[in-house]
Structure formats: structure tokens, C-alpha cells
Amino acid sequence: MEIEAGRTGRAARPDTPVLEARGLEVHYGDDHALQPTTVDIPQKQVTAIIGPSGCGKSTFLRSINRMNDLIDVARVEGELRFRGKNVYDEDVDPVALRRRIGMVFQKPNPFPKSIRENVAYGLNVQGKEVTDEAVETALRRAALWEEVEGKLDSSGLDLSGGQQQRLCIARAIAPDPEVILMDEPASALDPIATSKVEDLIDDLAEEYTVVIVTHNMQQAARISDKTAVFLTGGELVEFGDTNEVFENPEHQAVEDYITGKFG
């Protein structure tokens, strides 16, 4: 039997950076939420971001597709390059950016509309034609098609929590983005729904770059190729192959955090 290094076959792929943070830092008023951060996020892999509450991990995630723009007191410095282009350049339209870098949130938040309309929204924002085929493709990619086929006109809110989250993922991938950001996408789900979302993330990484914030370290270990560890004070302390981070971290502070000796 041949045992591949790393968790998935993807580990063997070369790391081609699709997102490059260069001295990226975020202040919320007087709060220095993200210290200057420099890191390369590789294409078509799953990168997990872990760390204690208030460590800046969600701030970092939200700064990737300029969600922090929506917060008045937020101030961003440094660069976040997407395919080499700084997303904070003046000529970048944040709405267009978010079509290419989609987001899935902690709590499933489908619109109070039909399943079809939820997915159609994702297609509309991209200016794509809403066809039955496009809706089906998005739902298939989100591993939801078989469960909702035949009831596309019923409300998205009638689905179970896990199905709602996969519907939100279908909506996020309908515009065919390159990157999907996920902010604790399974923390409100039961173990079975969580497993389905984790399997889905694994599948998604075949076509998309996935960056996921999670409080669940075992989940990060299970599903990611790369792991970034932020510690209190908004500092990225370690970034590396997930198996390295969980088996032999470079920094004592990371070791203490992941083994539970922190604080």
C-alpha cells in the first residue's frame, strides 16, 4: 500500500499562491485587531485558520474579500493580493470582488424564499442567466441536489440546519467564485450535518480555494491542507502543512494552544 504524505492527494500539488497577504493589518478604532500579517494562501487547497476567541482569525478572513469595509471604524493597512492585485487598490470594486471571493457564514442564512430563488440570487449577482441547469449544477456541487430535487419551489427555511448551510454554500458557489471563505460553517450543525459539510469542503477544494475559520481544532486537522494559527493579540504565529502543525509545531505557544495548555 502506498501512503501519501499529507491528508489528501492535494498535498502533493505545488503551492501556487492565490491570496498573498503582505503586512496586512486591521484596526477597529483603537483596537489593533490584526497585527501585520504576511502569508500565502495556496490555490485549490483547504486552509484552516485556528486560534482562541479574539485572536484576529475572523478579522483576517473578512479582510480577504473586504467585508471589513462594512464596519465604519475598521482601518486596513498593508496589502492583500488576489491573483497579484491588491484588493484594497482604489480601482477595485468590492462587490465584484465578493463575486470572485464568496463567503459562507456561521449561521445558515438562506433568504426567506424558495430553494431555487436562493441559488438564483447567486447566479444573478454574477449576471448569469438563471437556468434550471445552472441551479442544478450549483446544488449538485453543494451536495444538496438529491435531497431537494423535486421541491425547488419550497422555502429554503423549511430545510434542516445542515441542508440550509449547504444551500448557502450552493448560493456562494453559484457565481463560480475562485475562493470560498467560510466562517465556522459547521459550528451550528449536529455531527451528521457537520460530516456532510466537511465532505463537501473536501470536494469543493478540487475546484476552489477554501479558507475556513474554525473553533474546532479536530475539524481543522481533519479537513485542511494548510493551517494558520493566530494567537491572542491578532498575531499569525504559525502557518504550515496541517500535519506538521498538529504533529510538530514550530512554536511553543502553538504547541501549548493546540494541546490545551494555553492560558
Q: Supply the minimum distance, in Å, between the C-beta of residue 200 and another protein.
A: 23
Is the CB of 174 or the CB of 229 nearer to another protein?
229
Q: Which three cell numbers stand for residue 202?
A: 473536501
Residue in this structure with the C-alpha cell 425547488, named with its chain if needed: 152
Is the CB of 40 or the CB of 255 nearer to another protein?
255
Is the CB of 91 or the CB of 247 nearer to another protein?
247
Reference 173, options 63, 67, 99; nearest CA is 99
Q: Supply the minimum distance, in Å, between the C-beta of residue 116 and another protein.
A: 41
Q: Dihedral of the CA atoms 196, 140, 131, 163 (nearest 10)?
A: -20
Q: What are phi and psi of 104, to 5 degrees?
A: -120, 135
Is the CB of 3 or the CB of 70 nearer to another protein?
3
Three-state DSSP at 259 gives: coil
* Sheet of strand 85-86: strand arrangement: 31-42, 17-28, 74-82, 85-86
Residue in this structure with the C-alpha cell 449561521, named with its chain if needed: 107
Q: Supply the minimum distance, in Å, between the C-beta of residue 194 and another protein.
A: 15
Q: Which three cell numbers stand for residue 115?
A: 430553494
Is the CB of 8 or the CB of 243 nearer to another protein?
243
Three-state DSSP at 166 gives: helix
Q: Which three cell numbers stand for residue 232?
A: 491572542
Q: Supply the minimum distance, in Å, between the C-beta of residue 229 and another protein.
A: 11
Q: Supply the minimum distance, in Å, between the C-beta of residue 1 and another protein.
A: 18
Enumerate binding residues for another protein (CB under 8 A).
217-218, 221, 246-249, 254-255, 258-263
